[in-house]
Amino acid sequence: MTLILPLARYRFQFTVTHPIRLPDWSGSLLRGAFGRALRQLSCMTRQKDCAACPLYRTCPYPALFAPPAIEHEIQRFSQAPAPYLIEPDQWGARLLQVGDTLQFNMVLTGRALRELPLIVETWKRAAARGLGPAQGGQVGTAELRAIDYLPPQGEAIPIYRPESPHLADAPLQIPACPPVSRLNKITLRFTSPLRLQDNGHALTSAKLTPGPLLMAAVRRVALVSQLHGNGVPQWNFKALAQQAALIAEGEKDLQWRDWTRHSSRQKSTMQLGGVTGHWQLTGELNAFFPALHLGTWLHLGKETVFGLGRYELEYDTV
């Protein structure tokens, strides 16, 4: 089960210039600000409906922020997975004061890697125009201070500082799967809520089993690779599903964490909770390791673009 998928993680740091009120999970707030600024920078026709625009297939806004719906053998997607996701640095509502640091990561793949200069300009505009609800009659604002490339191995590499108008080159290190001879135990530590669903309902810890988790990882990596990477992986999904059903679970310590998201576009409030904590799997896991490894960049479950479903791996090999 070999796979090469170009991925890169970047750390963005801003200095707050007017207080910013962050919700429990800032991924949705940040994505909304990013989308509005990206549309303002990218849109040439100013049509309200992107799908009716003659530039729909070439404009970077739908390609990055809202890829078109696709028919796929896995399922029909009302919107294809985006080639990026946002990783807030911590959980918890807080008020950032003037001079504080706002920090988060972005993971990019596919076209998003080539559009990094546009993404940087988008964040400059988004932070300057306003983030979060108004404080004292003014929305929160910030100035971009630094961007670092975070390679899979080694120290962070600075690629942007305000004194230089151009992005510095950083050699892209494609995350390679570490070699393993026999993998029979692995632990996933979820640092943001994992939201796996069955018939539209999020699964609690008691209803989560190893098989659906492993196949969610396989499908997520396969789909992103097909749409934004080097093509469809040559995987036998039926055989993998049969093998996933044989995987057992060891220690499982998962807690439910609620998260309420308000959508200004849909004018609605949604409950998008999931589980955090650690989950140990045991059995013949070699076939799933590449997907689980790349999942530490791509995350798992629903709402990954907001940063949900992020996890770390711990494993022993024989």
The whole-number pLDDT of residue 1 equals 46
**Proportion of the chain above pLDDT 70, given as a percent:** 93
For residue 275, the domain's CATH number is 3.30.70.1900
The whole-number pLDDT of residue 60 equals 93
193 and 227 share one domain: yes
210 and 96 share one domain: no
86 and 153 share one domain: yes
Residue type, 239: A
Q: Is residue 113 part of a domain?
A: yes
Q: Which of 127, 160, 193 is the last residue of a domain?
A: 160
> In this structure, are residues 13 and 31 in contact, taking their beta carbons and an 8 Å threshold?
no
Q: Is residue 63 part of a domain?
A: yes
Q: What tokens does 157 get?
A: 């590499």
- Domain around 303: 183-317
Helix axis angle for 289-298 and 210-228, nearest 10°, is 70
* 74 pLDDT higher than 90: no
Q: How far is the C-alpha of 159 from the C-alpha of 152, rounded, in Å?
A: 16
Q: Is residue 214 part of a domain?
A: yes
Nearest to 125 by CA among 38, 31, 15: 38
Phi, psi dihedral angles at 210 (to 5 degrees): -60, -40
Q: How far is the C-alpha of 152 from the C-alpha of 173, rounded, in Å?
A: 7
For residue 51, the domain's CATH number is 3.30.70
pTM of the model: 0.93
Q: What tokens does 24 get?
A: 């429990």
Q: Is residue 171 part of a domain?
A: no
Q: What tokens does 261 get?
A: 């998201």
* 289 pLDDT higher than 80: yes
Q: Which of 145, 160, 175 is the last residue of a domain?
A: 160
Q: What tokens does 143 get?
A: 């100035």
52 and 195 share one domain: no
Q: How far is the C-alpha of 190 from the C-alpha of 196, rounded, in Å?
A: 13
pLDDT band of 33, cuts 50, 70, 90: very high
Q: How far is the C-alpha of 50 from the C-alpha of 59, rounded, in Å?
A: 9
Overall domain count for the chain? 2
Q: How far is the C-alpha of 287 from the C-alpha of 244, rounded, in Å?
A: 9
The whole-number pLDDT of residue 263 equals 63
Mean pLDDT, rounded, for 110-114? 94
Q: Is residue 12 part of a domain?
A: yes
* 208 pLDDT higher than 90: yes
